[in-house]
Amino acid sequence: MKNARIIIVTGLSGSGKSTVLKAFEDIGFFCVDNMPVVLLAKFLELPVESRGEILKIALVMDLREKGFLESYQEVFPELREKGYHLEILFLDASDEILVRRFSQTRRQHPLAGSDFVLKGIRKERKKLSGIKEIANQIVDTSFFSVHDLRKAIIQHYTSTITSPQMTINLLSFGYKYGLPYDADIVIDVRFLPNPYFVPGLKNLNGEEPEVIDYVMKWNETEEFIKKFQDLLRYLIPLYEKEGKSYLTIAIGCTGGRHRSVAIAEELRKLFDSKNYPITLTHRDIHLE
């Protein structure tokens, strides 16, 4: 299985690992939940008929296995030295969102015991900080619905399998709802005139032509787009040269409904013209 693509899915309890594993299964990955790290080497040595295709494997590993933290630090480097291609996908979410999810499902946090859920979340976050630091990809699922998360995983991992180009993920967001954890580049467009204060535009969003026309009509918008595109044209080949397969560019305004959405839509045209695999997510467009 040394020619296999192996995705280790890990992260905080309640961050969406089950949803992500189902998404991998839908795009042809062989999936195993709660795989003990100590059995990983033996599992990968099993003879599998690949029929000449690159195998795709997704394995969820987390603190449900008591020896996970100690074992992965030895097992992962050893497997990489043997030629296996391991990628670590770490799922994160804000404390507030995780508390809400546990409250809605009425599940008990694995590290909370008789304490409050928040204590368990913070304890788990601290324990997982080491593997988060070495993760190939970190995804903040705080503002993803189940369907949006599934779609994002399928889009990203389908495009990285079928195309050698780096995938560009454009993400609009509102600063009032917090910075996205998984952004590589963050740009603040709150300096642009705000459609929120224009009668007739307040209740629309940046996907609609009236808002796009308003945001794009200003000289400062035109100049900003030109300079930011020049910066991206310079940076993206350098990221690709370093072997980065996925680049998240986050564009933020106050509420994440008008300016950031319109600018993200405009930037998508640039990447479409360059034939980059691209995803576009408007994280906070429906929150106000």
Lowest mean pLDDT among 135-144, 164-173, 268-277: 268-277
Which helix H or strand E contains 32, and what residues bound it? strand 30-32
pLDDT of residue 46: 79
pLDDT-derived band at 162 (thresholds 50, 70, 90) equals low
The per-residue pLDDT for 156 is: 81
Flag whether pLDDT at 163 surpasses 60: no
Distance CA 127, CA 123 (A): 6
Average pLDDT value over all residues in the chain: 87
Cα 32 to Cα 6, 105, 179: the distances in Å are: 11, 23, 32
Residues 6+ positions from 33 with CB-CB distance below 8 Å: 18, 21, 60
43-62 tens-digit pLDDT: 888 765 544 455 899 999 99
User: Are the beta carbons of 177 and 241 closer than 8 angstroms?
Assistant: no
User: In this predicted structure, what is the pLDDT of residue 245?
Assistant: 72
Q: Sheet containing 246-253: which strands, arranged edge to edge?
A: 185-188, 246-253, 167-174, 278-282
Computed over its alpha carbons, how large is the radius of gyration of the chain?
Answer: 21
Amino acid identity of residue 236, one-letter, is I
Confidence (pTM):
0.64
pLDDT given for residue 228 in this prediction: 94
- Binning pLDDT at 50, 70 and 90, where does residue 159 land? low
Domain residue spans of the chain: 5-162, 167-282
Report, at the CATH architecture level, how domain 5-162 is classified.
3-Layer(aba) Sandwich (3.40)
